[in-house]
C-alpha cells in the first residue's frame, strides 16, 4: 500500500517552471580602463593662399621665381617693363640734385642778407615739389614690381616674360604650406569632447610611417542638419614640406582615460531596438535590465549605463531562461 502511494505521488507531482533549477553561466562585469578614440577622414588645406595679380597694364620684363619653388616673404616675383618710368626718375633726380644745391646756396645768401625771403621760399618750394614727384614715380615703379606677401610655394605660372598683363590677370598662386590646415567633420555626439586646443594626430595611408601631431584651432558653431556633424579646423607644422594641400589623411583623437564595465557580447540581447541583460539576483532568480551599450572589442561590449559592479550577468544559457526563472550558476 505504501509503495502504491509513492507511485501515485510521483505521478501527480510535477515541478513548475519556476521551481526548476536551470544551469547558467554568470559573472560580474569586467572593469577596464579605456581611452575613447575617434578617427575621421580629413582634408589638408594650405595655411594661406593668395593669387598674384597686378593693377597695371604692362609687359613682363623679368620673372624671378620658378614654378613649384619656395619663395621668401617680400621676395620680388615679377618685374614689368619700366624703361619710361626709370627715364623720368633719372630726370627728376637730376633736377632735384640741382634744386638742392640752389636751395643751399640761397640759404647761405639769405643768412648774409644778400637775398630776400621770397627767393629763399621759392627755391625751397621747387625742391619740395621735385621730392614729391620723386615719391610719385617711385610708387609707380614699385607698382611695376610684385613681391611675395608671405613665404610659400608657387604654383604654375600663367604668363611668360614679354607677356602683356592686364589688371586682374592671375600670374601665379602662392601657398603657405609650412603649416597646414586640417578640415574634418565630427559627429555631434563628440561636441562636448572637442574644443579649441584639443590635441590630435594624423596618419597618411600613402606613407605608413608618417605621423604628425596637431591642435584644433577653429570649431564651427553650426551643426549640419543633414549629416549631424560639425566642422573643425586644425593646424599642423609642415616645415619639411612633406605634405601637400588636397591630400586626404586620417585624423585621430584620444580622449581622457576612464573606467567602464564590459560584458561578453553574447550576454546582450535586443528587443525593439533596446539592449538588455539578464541578471541573477540574490535569490538566484532571473531579472531583466535595460542597458546602454558602447564600444565593442575582443568579444566584449561596453555597458555605459544600467549596470553595477556587483551584478551577476548571465552570458550562457540565455535562451533557456526568462524573468523569474530559478537558476544555478555553474
Supply the CATH number for residue 223's domain. 2.40.30.170
Q: How high is the pLDDT of residue 211?
A: 84
Is there a single domain that holds both residue 283 and residue 315?
yes
Looking at residues 54-76, what average pLDDT do you find?
92
Q: Is residue 9 situated within a structural domain?
A: no
Q: How high is the pLDDT of residue 189?
A: 81
Q: Is residue 129 situated within a structural domain?
A: yes
Contact call for residues 277 and 314 (beta carbons, < 8 A): yes
Q: Is residue 16 situated within a structural domain?
A: no
Is there a single domain that holds both residue 278 and residue 248?
no
Q: Does pLDDT of 13 surpass 80?
A: no
Is there a single domain that holds both residue 157 and residue 235?
no
Q: Which of 121, 140, 165 is the last residue of a domain?
A: 165
Q: Does pLDDT of 2 surpass 70?
A: no
- For the record, the C-alpha cell of 252 comes out as 585621430
Minimum mean pLDDT range among 2-16, 41-55, 157-171, 226-240: 2-16
Is there a single domain that holds both residue 207 and residue 279?
no
Looking at residues 245-260, what average pLDDT do you find?
88
Q: Cell 627715364 identifies what position? A: 87
**Strands 152-154, 164-165: pairing kind:** unpaired
Quote the CA–CA distance of 119 and 107 in Å, as a whole number.
10
3-state per-residue secondary structure call for 58-70: EEEEEECCCCCCE
Is there a single domain that holds both residue 78 and residue 150?
yes
Quote the CA–CA distance of 11 and 130 in Å, as a whole number.
130
**Strands 326-329, 21-27: pairing kind:** parallel
Q: Is residue 310 situated within a structural domain?
A: yes
Quote the CA–CA distance of 106 and 113 in Å, as a whole number.
10
Q: Is residue 17 situated within a structural domain?
A: no
Three-state secondary-structure class, residue 189: helix
Asked whether the whole model's pTM tops 0.75, one would answer no
Intra-chain end-to-end CA distance of the chain, in Å: 41
Is there a single domain that holds both residue 266 and residue 287?
yes
Helices marked H in 112-196 — which ranges?
117-143
Q: How high is the pLDDT of residue 18?
A: 44
For residue 86, the surrounding DSSP H or E stretch is: helix 83-111
Number of domains in the chain: 3
Q: How high is the pLDDT of residue 220?
A: 93
Looking at residues 63-92, what average pLDDT do you find?
92
190-216: per-residue pLDDT in tens?
A: 888 899 989 998 888 777 778 888 999
Q: Is residue 203 situated within a structural domain?
A: yes
Q: How high is the pLDDT of residue 192?
A: 85
Quote the CA–CA distance of 253 and 216 in Å, as a whole number.
10
Q: How high is the pLDDT of residue 150?
A: 92
Q: Does pLDDT of 323 surpass 90?
A: yes
Which range marks the domain in which residue 214 is found?
A: 38-48+176-258
Quote the CA–CA distance of 172 and 97 in Å, as a whole number.
40
DSSP at 161: T
Q: Which of 115, 138, 165 is the last residue of a domain?
A: 165
pLDDT band at residue 294 under the 50/70/90 scheme:
confident
Three-state secondary-structure class, residue 88: helix
Q: How high is the pLDDT of residue 149?
A: 94
Contact call for residues 54 and 171 (beta carbons, < 8 A): yes
Q: Which of 115, 144, 165 is the last residue of a domain?
A: 165
Q: Does pLDDT of 325 surpass 60?
A: yes
Q: Is residue 181 situated within a structural domain?
A: yes
Q: How high is the pLDDT of residue 19?
A: 57
Mean pLDDT score of the chain, rounded to an integer?
Answer: 88
Is there a single domain that holds both residue 159 and residue 213?
no
Q: How high is the pLDDT of residue 307?
A: 94
Report how far Cα 32 is from the mean position of its chain's Cα atoms.
Answer: 31
Q: Is residue 143 situated within a structural domain?
A: yes
Is there a single domain that holds both residue 132 and residue 223?
no
**Strands 274-280, 269-271: pairing kind:** antiparallel
Is there a single domain that holds both residue 128 and residue 72?
yes
Is there a single domain that holds both residue 237 and residue 312?
no
Is there a single domain that holds both residue 188 and residue 211?
yes
Is there a single domain that holds both residue 240 and residue 268?
no
Q: Does pLDDT of 179 surpass 70?
A: yes
Whichever domain contains 322, its CATH number is 2.40.420.20
DSSP at 309: T
Count of residues in the chain? 330
DSSP at 285: B
Quote the CA–CA distance of 74 and 148 in Å, as a whole number.
5
Amino acid at each position: 500500500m505504501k509503495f502504491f502511494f509513492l507511485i501515485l505521488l510521483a505521478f501527480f507531482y510535477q515541478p513548475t517552471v519556476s521551481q526548476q533549477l536551470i544551469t547558467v553561466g554568470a559573472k560580474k562585469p569586467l572593469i577596464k580602463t579605456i581611452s575613447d578614440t575617434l578617427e575621421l577622414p580629413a582634408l589638408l588645406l594650405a595655411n594661406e593662399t593668395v593669387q598674384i595679380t597686378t593693377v597695371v597694364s604692362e609687359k613682363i620684363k623679368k620673372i624671378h621665381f620658378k614654378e613649384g619653388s619656395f619663395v621668401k616673404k617680400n621676395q620680388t616675383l615679377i618685374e614689368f617693363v619700366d624703361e619710361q618710368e626709370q627715364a623720368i626718375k633719372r630726370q627728376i633726380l637730376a633736377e632735384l640734385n640741382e634744386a638742392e644745391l640752389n636751395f643751399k646756396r640761397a640759404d647761405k645768401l639769405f643768412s648774409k642778407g644778400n637775398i630776400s625771403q621770397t627767393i629763399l621760399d621759392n627755391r625751397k618750394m621747387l625742391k619740395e615739389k621735385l621730392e614729391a614727384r620723386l615719391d610719385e614715380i617711385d610708387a609707380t615703379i614699385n607698382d611695376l614690381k610684385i613681391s611675395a606677401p608671405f613665404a610659400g610655394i608657387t604654383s604654375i605660372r600663367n604668363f611668360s616674360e614679354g607677356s602683356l598683363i592686364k589688371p586682374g590677370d592671375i600670374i601665379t598662386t602662392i601657398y603657405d604650406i609650412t603649416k597646414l590646415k586640417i578640415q574634418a567633420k565630427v559627429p555631434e555626439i563628440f561636441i562636448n569632447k572637442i574644443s579649441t586646443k584639443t590635441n590630435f594626430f594624423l596618419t597618411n595611408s600613402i606613407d605608413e610611417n608618417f605621423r604628425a601631431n596637431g591642435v584644433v584651432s577653429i570649431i564651427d558653431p553650426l551643426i549640419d542638419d543633414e549629416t549631424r556633424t560639425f566642422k573643425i579646423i586644425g593646424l599642423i607644422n609642415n616645415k619639411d614640406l612633406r605634405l601637400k594641400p588636397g591630400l586626404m589623411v586620417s585624423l585621430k583623437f584620444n580622449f581622457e582615460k576612464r573606467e567602464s564595465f564590459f560584458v561578453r557580447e553574447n550576454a546582450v540581447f535586443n528587443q525593439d531596438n533596446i539592449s538588455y541583460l539578464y541578471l541573477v539576483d540574490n535569490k538566484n532568480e532571473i531579472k531583466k535590465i535595460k542597458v546602454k551599450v558602447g564600444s565593442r572589442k575582443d568579444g566584449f561590449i561596453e555597458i555605459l549605463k544600467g549596470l553595477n559592479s556587483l551584478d551577476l550577468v548571465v552570458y550562457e544559457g540565455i535562451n533557456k531562461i526568462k524573468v523569474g526563472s530559478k537558476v544555478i550558476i555553474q
